[in-house]
Structure 1
Amino acid sequence: MISKFFSTSKPIHLVLVSLYILVVYVFVKLTPFPDTMNIESFAIDVLMFGVIFFSISVLAFFVTKNTLTQRNSFKILFYVLLLAMLPMAFENNNILLANLFVILALRRIFSLRSHQNVKKKLFDAAFWITIAALFYFWAILFLAIIFAALLLFSNDEIKNWIIPFIGFFCVMMLVFCYVILTSGDLSDALVIIEPLNFDFSAYNDISFVTGITILLSLGLWATFFYIKGISDKPKQFRSSHLLVLYTTALAAVIIIITPDKNGSEFIFLATPLAIIMTNFIEGLSERWFSEIFIWLLILTPIAKLFI
């Protein structure tokens, strides 16, 4: 049974989920089979898979380190299964990079609970999120998570509220210097800013709707029980779990307002939903329901191939 197999944390689990997402990634890249292949495009594809693998590893590390779940491998299983439901993200290198930088930022943000090296963590988090915004502009909204963390972790030192802005402006200064050296026109730096878009007609495609409906349905179901269970968590971890919910909400806002709605934007939900779904599975006493839940996530990407 899959739920029993992943109920522990072993290196073999990371190997298996990595192989699974590699198969999906290769299938997406080779469908339809390209007429020509060159070393440059192959190298980029290998690099991007490295980005995906690194994001899995960072997720596993910071979730375990901050006790957001129990010691098992459900978190990486759900993360990979959610990615497999979003094959369009594999065609967007920018969003894969942005997602990795957001995860690197979340690693620093959630570790603020320890109240150690706070200033460095705040700078790093703002730095990584701003870098992410260079690849996917609306990832900039995740800066709000930093200030939510300061509130939740009762950090009222004034200097700490200023540091995220320093991290942001450090990246922007580097961007402006690059623009000046290459084009000499500072207005060129503004091209990364994207407009709001509330047109959801792109979601009418049946193959797209099927996967996203399953993702959102299972995600909302798990989130409902996650919210109910926060009060039962140890007091020192409740703020961290609230932060997971805020991250989910911001990811949803990005999906709603992003101008280029092609499905890849749902990738920002993968990290918080992986944590939420893991907590949901951990709280289930009926193993058969866990199996159904997991198999739905496994079979949905396969079913999409025939729709």
Structure 2
Amino acid sequence: MITSIFSKSKSINFIIVFLITLLAFIIARVKLVNESVTMEFVLKQIVLLFVCCMSVLLLSFIVNKNNLTKENNYEILLFSLFLLLIVHTTINTDIILSNFFILLGLRRIMSLRSQKNVKKKLFDAAFWIAIASLFYFWAILFFALIPVTLFLYTDKKLRHWIVPFLGVVTVFVIFIAGSIIIYDDFFGIFNISPKISYDFSNYNSVKYLVAITLLLSFGVWSSIFYLQNIKKKKKDFRASFKIISIAVLIAFLIVLQAPEKSGSEFLFMFAPLAIIIANYIEVIQEKWFKEVFLSLLIIIPFITLLL
């Protein structure tokens, strides 16, 4: 029953996903935010909610454009459920914006498959990732996806390897100029904090342990089948599937070394992990097992709200 609803792309699916996202936002504000409700606060929350909804649409676009799943909406359902699983991911403004720009960069990276306007796409991808790193420094690790993609497409043109660095330099030159104008200082506008922490004590609660266990267990199990099935994909799309697997590893690395373990850092994992798990749901042959698997992914986030 549940799988049949999202097995095909429908408008109602997006409505359900947006409602789950809204629920995650509301619960996070009720439980975690102590700010007084002012017009400025309300407007800020509306903007953040809009960015999260745009991230959902962007994820759907990336998936559909690159045939990363069949014609269904499992990936956006999972993305919204992950937000509900760890509602802290809807709190941190910098990470929400950073993740959105990472998705914009990922969109351009994936579009390299067509081998058209390569220099422009490489510049754009690096540009968006560099902007993402201004909001959250360790997002710069996603820059590694660009040379990896060039390697996967066996691109030996030297100018293509140089262009991404020009994209990064462009962002920093623009922001340095802005910093001088606004703050009369070269780096006053930058929010750069290259700190690392391996203190995971903040995760030492039942709620986090359940959430992390679900993400890791379902993610690792799905990844095994995901990697095995890459060879079965059309040759033109194999690189795209490999890029997603590398993206989730980079996101996991960011979680490991995040300077503040607030839970918000898991947001970087949600999009690539949703794609991987969605692929596994598609290949499950037993209908009852598919229903149970997806039901657990739906029920557990709601249970964690009670913890």
**Where do residues 84-123 of structure 1 align in structure 2 (5 Å cutoff)?**
84-123=84-123
Does the residue aligned with 1:106 lie in a helix, a strand or coil? helix
- Where in structure 1 are there 5+ consecutive unaligned residues? none
1:191 Cα deviation (Å)?
5.3
Question: Taking structure 1 as reference, are residues 187 and 96 closer, same or farther at Cα in structure 2, changes over 3 Å only?
Answer: closer
Identical aligned pairs, as a percentage? Answer: 40
Aligned to 1:31: 31
1:35 Cα deviation (Å)?
7.6
Question: Taking structure 1 as reference, are residues 32 and 226 closer, same or farther at Cα in structure 2, changes over 3 Å only?
Answer: closer
What one-letter code is carried by the residue in structure 1 that aligns with 2:233? K
Aligned to 2:210: 210
CA offsets, 1:123-179, max 9 Å, x none? 111111111111111000000001111111222211111111111011101121122
1:27 Cα deviation (Å)?
2.0
- Where in structure 2 are there 5+ consecutive unaligned residues? none
Aligned to 2:13: 13
> 1:93 and 1:190 mapped to 2: Cα distance?
15
Question: Taking structure 1 as reference, are residues 37 and 193 closer, same or farther at Cα in structure 2, changes over 3 Å only?
Answer: closer
Aligned to 1:167: 167
Aligned to 1:177: 177
> 1:113 and 1:296 mapped to 2: Cα distance?
35
**Where do residues 19-168 of structure 1 align in structure 2 (5 Å cutoff)?**
19-31=19-31, 36-168=36-168
> 1:229 and 1:305 mapped to 2: Cα distance?
35
What one-letter code is carried by the residue in structure 2 that aligns with 1:107? R
Deviates more, 1:238-247 or 1:49-58: 238-247
Question: Taking structure 1 as reference, are residues 189 and 31 closer, same or farther at Cα in structure 2, changes over 3 Å only?
Answer: closer
> 1:35 and 1:136 mapped to 2: Cα distance?
23
Aligned to 2:224: 224
Aligned to 2:255: 255
CA offsets, 1:58-114, max 9 Å, x none? 110111011111111111111111222120011111111111100111111011011
What's the TM-score once normalised by structure 2's chain length?
Answer: 0.96
What one-letter code is carried by the residue in structure 1 that aligns with 2:125? A
CA offsets, 1:22-63, max 9 Å, x none? 122112212368684111100000010000000000110111
> 2:102 and 2:35 mapped to 1: Cα distance?
35
